[in-house]
Amino acid sequence: MLEIKQFEFGPFGTNTYVVHDGRQVLLIDPACYVEYEQQQLFRYIEDLRLKLGDFQLTILATHGHLDHLWGAPWACEQWHTSVLMHEADIPFAKAMQAQYDLFGVRAEAKPFPMDPITNEQSPIANTSILHTPGHTPGSICLYWPEEKVLLSGDTLFCMGYGRTDLPGGNMGQLIQSLEQLFALPGDVHVYPGHGEDTTIGAERR
C-alpha cells in the first residue's frame, strides 16, 4: 500500500511528495527552496529509513520548471543520485539559469545530474508514467491503477490546469492530456503540483 507525504515548499507554493510502498522510496519534485525546507525533508526521509531499513531513494521530476527543482542540486548531492524526468524536459532543466532570469530570481542556478525516465524504469512497482505534454513538452503524471492514485504535476489541479503561456507550453497538447486523464476512473485521487488534492470525477464536471 502506498503512503504519500506532501510538503508545500518554495515561493511558488509547490508540492513536493515522498511516496513509498514499504520497500522503495520516491521523492517527487524536490522544491525545497531554503535550508529550513531542506532539513524538514531530510528529517522525514531519514526517519523513514529508520522505519523501513536502508533503501535507495529515487528522485523524479514531473517536469523541468524551476519551482519543481529548487532543491534538486541539494537532494542529488544528499542522496547521491540523479533526477529522472522525461527527456523532452531535460533541456529546460539544463537551462535553469534562463528560467531564473525569466522569473527575476536573483540567484545562480546550480547544475545537477539528470537522466531520462521511461515506464521500464518505474521506481515503484505497478507505476504507470503518463506523458502529458502541454504545460511543458515533457510533463508527466504518475499513476498507480491499483491504488487509484495520480500525481498530476502541473497538468491538472483542483479546479484548474497548468498554464501554457511559458516557453514550451501548448494548449492543444494540454487539452489532449487532460482528456487522457479524464478517461481514468472518477474515484482516482489526484495529488497536484500546486494546491489541494482532488479526484478525477470532481475535475471532470
Q: Which structural domains are found in the chain, ordered by start? A: 3-204 (3.60.15.10)
pLDDT, tens digit (0-9, with 9 covering 90-100), for 3-33: 999 999 999 999 999 999 888 899 999 999 9
Q: What is the largest CA-CA distance in the chain?
A: 46
Question: What integer pLDDT is reported at residue 123 of this predicted model?
Answer: 66
Q: Residue 141: which H helix or E strand, with range?
A: strand 140-144
Whole-prediction pTM: 0.96
β pairing state of 25-28 and 14-20: antiparallel
Closest residue by Cα to residue 200 from 153, 190, 192: 190
pLDDT, tens digit (0-9, with 9 covering 90-100), for 88-135: 999 989 999 999 999 999 889 999 999 999 766 666 777 899 999 999
Residues of the chain with pLDDT > 90, as a percent, come to 86
Question: What integer pLDDT is reported at residue 122 of this predicted model?
Answer: 66
Distance CA 124, CA 58 (A): 9
